[in-house]
Each structure stands twice: as structure tokens, then as C-alpha cells.
Amino acid sequence: MTNLTFEEKGLIPVIVQHAITREVLTLAYMNEEAYSKTVETKETWFFSRSRQELWHKGETSGNTQQVVSIRSDCDSDALVVEVLPNGPACHTGENTCFHNTLEKLDDTVGYNVITSLIDIIAEREQTMPEGAYTTYLFEKGVDKICKKVGEESSEVIIASKNNDAEELKWEAADLLYHLLVLLQNQKVSFYDLLQVLQKRHESKKQK
């Protein structure tokens, strides 16, 4: 184990963060055993201060968290664990435990809107609600989805050639949506794309 500083009760605070969106999911605690099990299983384990016992996130709900990385702060007495969640982080069913907004001081949109869209697309494929456009695409299959990706790509090109920034934003959003539907249809995750980009970035840095 790395040289981490556990408090007098043998615990260290852990911030669990979505590896893609950077959204903070949970604040929890680990003891040495929970940390070791997290590293060993590559899924999050914590120590419950109320129950005074070790617990594996998602053991009963199935909402496990695949660990991507673990970082410590400058004093080695707090951790950030980046994860890919397999379901909501909160026992209430919310994606994050920090879902109660007390103050909103800026209208900035976070990257979590992408994961929310990905979740909706995946849910549509499972439940196929009648009348939903995403359901229609999945029913028609890969040929229709690919056709829409091609059409939206053309619209992006036209908007760019016309120097129409407002239209470009709308068409690019349409393209991204249909691309995410195609990825879901082909069982390729958005994280798979990020891994490819990361590998390319790292290879260029090494040159």
C-alpha cells in the first residue's frame, strides 16, 4: 500500500468522481482493508461509519463502480477515486449523492449532460417506449441509424460552409445524438472512444 495517512479511527475520506464527466458522485470513507479490496477487485469498497462494517458498493443493488484511477491529495490524507458507474451512485436512485442544489450561481452546462443522454439512449433500447424517436431508430436498425449519421454529418458540413455558427451548433448536437445511438446499437461505449483519444494523446506526447 502507498504511504497514505489514515485518521485516528483508521479511515480516509474518499471523493468518488465519474471518470468521464468529472461529476462528483459520493463522499465516503475507506479503511486499509477497503482500500486494498478496491485495488484488488477494481471496484469500490468503503467502510460504513454508521454500521461499522466494510461494504462493497453495488453488492445488493448491482450498481457497482468500476475503478479507473485512484489519486491522493498533497498530504496523502484524502483520495479521489475515478469510476465508471454501473448505475446510480445514490441509494435514492439519483446518479449522484449530490443532487440537492442549494445555490446555482452560473448557468454553465456540465459534461454530465452527455452521460445523461447516454443513459437515456440505453434505457430506450431496453424498454422501447412507444412513440419515442430513439425507439424508432432502434426498431429500424443499423442501416437507418447510419443513414441519419450521414445526413447529420452533411448538415454539419453545410452549416460550416455557410459560416452559420448557430445552425452549426444545432446540427452538431443532432450529429452527436445520432452517433451515440449508433454506438449503443453497436455496443461500443463512449468511454471506449475516450480511451482511443487518450492513447493517441499519450503516443504523441512520447514522440
User: Is residue 129 domain-shared with residue 73, that is, in the same domain?
Assistant: no
User: Is residue 117 domain-shared with residue 80, that is, in the same domain?
Assistant: no
Cell representation of residue 24: 462528483
User: Is residue 66 domain-shared with residue 144, that is, in the same domain?
Assistant: no
Distance CA 148, CA 180 (A): 12
The torsion defined by the Cα of 190, 191, 192 and 195, in degrees rounded to 10, comes to 130
What is the overall mean pLDDT for the chain? 93
pTM over 0.85, yes/no: no
- DSSP β-bridge partners for residue 53: 48
Is 22 a member of any domain? yes
Distance CA 144, CA 141 (A): 6
Is 7 a member of any domain? no
**Which tens digits make up the pLDDT trace of 140-160?**
999 999 999 999 999 999 999
Distance CA 81, CA 191 (A): 16
**Which tens digits make up the pLDDT trace of 100-123?**
988 876 766 777 788 889 989 999
Is 153 a member of any domain? yes
User: Is residue 73 domain-shared with residue 123, that is, in the same domain?
Assistant: no
Backbone phi, psi, residue 165, to 5°: -65, -40
User: Is residue 77 domain-shared with residue 160, that is, in the same domain?
Assistant: no
Residues 69-75, mean pLDDT to the nearest whole number: 96
179: containing domain: 112-206
Is 97 a member of any domain? no
Of 85, 103, 137, at which residue does a domain stop?
Answer: 85
- Count of domains in the chain? 2
Which run of H or of E encompasses 192? Answer: helix 190-206
CATH number at residue 28: 3.10.20.810
β-strands 53-56, 45-48 pairing: antiparallel
Of 50, 66, 85, at which residue does a domain stop?
Answer: 85
Is 163 a member of any domain? yes
CATH number at residue 191: 1.10.287.1080
User: Is residue 58 domain-shared with residue 128, that is, in the same domain?
Assistant: no
Residue 204 scores a pLDDT above 80: no
Of 49, 69, 85, at which residue does a domain stop?
Answer: 85
Following DSSP, what letter does each residue of 64-95 receive, concatenated? Answer: -EEEEEEEE-TTSS-EEEEEEESS-SSTTS-S
Is 6 a member of any domain? no
Of the candidates 9, 11, 7, the residue with the CA atom closest to the CA atom of residue 34: 11
